[in-house]
Amino acid sequence: MKTSRPFPDSTAALSSYWSSELDAENNKQVRVKTVVMDAATLTYDTLRFGEFEDFPETTEPVWILGNEYSALTEKEEILSDVTSRLWFTYRKSFPPIGGTGPTSDTGWGCMLRCGQMILGQALMCRHLGRDWRWVRGQKQRQEYISILNAFIDKKDSYYSIHQIAQMGVGEGKPIGQWYGPNTVAQVLKKLAVFDTWSRLVVHVAMDNTVVIEEIKRLCMPWLDKAEVFGEPERVGELNGCLEGACALSEEEVALWKPLVLLIPLRLGLSDINGAYIETLKKCFMLPQSLGVIGGKPNSAHYFIGYVGGELIYLDPHTTQTAVEPCEHGQFPDDTYHCQHPPCRMHICELDPSIAVLSCNKDNLPMFELVDSQPSHLVGVDAINLTPDFSDSERLERFFDSEDEEFEILSL
């Protein structure tokens, strides 16, 4: 039987990416950090089921990654949708990162796990579809097994904690250091290049700007080929207007590389600015939504929806034992799905540094999204970016811990 271990050829290419100099540097760093990690894994454990509240009895709609539900009549459907999302948490007892590094990411890997969750959601939309549901104990499709194998905690899995942590060294983050949303976005962008099965294009839109020409060049590489083979008028037609870009043949549509779009934002200084709240909620209503990663300084969450004034999220702050695949790549997957009511927090508690994510399997939803009129945007007079210096300690900690590349969003 063919093994479900994903993409062996590209995995070998990914493994050869790391140079001996990088390995040597990692080994120096992790010898020191392993001692620190063992002594300083201050975190909390969310896997105490009695502490989780059920959904409130409210007439307000519940939005989960583009799907709308009623909390009064569709509670089972809500929980089924949430449970079907991949839930990546802290793990322990996995092979040492870098050969001699940490064997657990407890206390520092929450943003890395959130990055895994959003990419896992993108892969499931890509290969299984948004309406796919996980059922405990049910025999799973091969595509699902391959997706999950890509995140297993070992060095040769595409999106393992090992790969993300080691790739982060190139972004200036030593192994064992907490990431901000932008760093994990940049790392996922680099790792996705090696995933030839999914063929995802991960694009990180900086400076609050999505450049359509960049997206088209990344997702429709045949545009460059048309230019080379003497069809510049065809390229000009497509680049000149969105209508032309959408008027593609079936063969050309099939060549569109699925896009994962990450937009790192800072929606305020020390606290989220109230002017952005309704706009942020609307992100969860989009059919293309992959959610939002953010949380609080040094405490990251994966936000998948909202109800009323509360955000719904999956929390990675639970330490579970690493899972070893069995024969033919099969393994118990119960611990990769959150089987209790999801966590909720008031939207005003959200740290202003976030990354908004969307996935577009083909070009039409992408350009429809751009064409839609953002009528919910507020005027510039609604914004107040003056920091509260009575909270100067937290503000200083925020800028120390988060990525400097973030921009304050203009309305």
The reply to whether 315 belongs to the active site is yes
Bridge partner residues of 261 (DSSP): 203, 358
User: How many C-alpha atoms does 253 have within 13 Å on its Cβ side?
Assistant: 14
CA within 13 Å, CB half, 137: 0
Query: Which of 81, 105, 110, 351 is flagged as catalytic?
Result: 110
Residue 349: partners with Cβ closer than 8 Å, 6 or more residues away = 296
User: What's the full length of the chain, in residues?
Assistant: 411
Tokens 């969450």 belong to 301
Q: Are 200 and 193 in contact (CB under 8 A)?
A: no
Determine which one of 81, 271, 317, 403 is catalytic. 317
Cβ pair 271, 291 in contact under 8 A: no
SS (H, E, C) 42-110: CCCCCCCHHHCCCCCCCCCEEEECCEEEECCCCHHHHHHHHHHCCCCCCEECCCCHHHCCCCECCCCCH
Q: Which helix (H) or strand (E) holds 127?
A: helix 110-127
Q: CA-CA distance, 230 to 183, in Å (whole number)? A: 40
Active site residue 338: no
Whether the CB-CB separation of 358 and 286 falls below 8 Å is answered with yes
* 359 is a catalytic site residue: no
Whole-number Å distance between alpha carbons of 173 and 239: 38
Listing DSSP states for 316-361 in one string gives ----EEPPPP-GGG----GGGS--SPPEEEEGGGS-SEEEEEEEES
Cα 208 to chain centroid distance, Å, stands at 18
Give the catalytic positions in this structure: 110, 315, 317
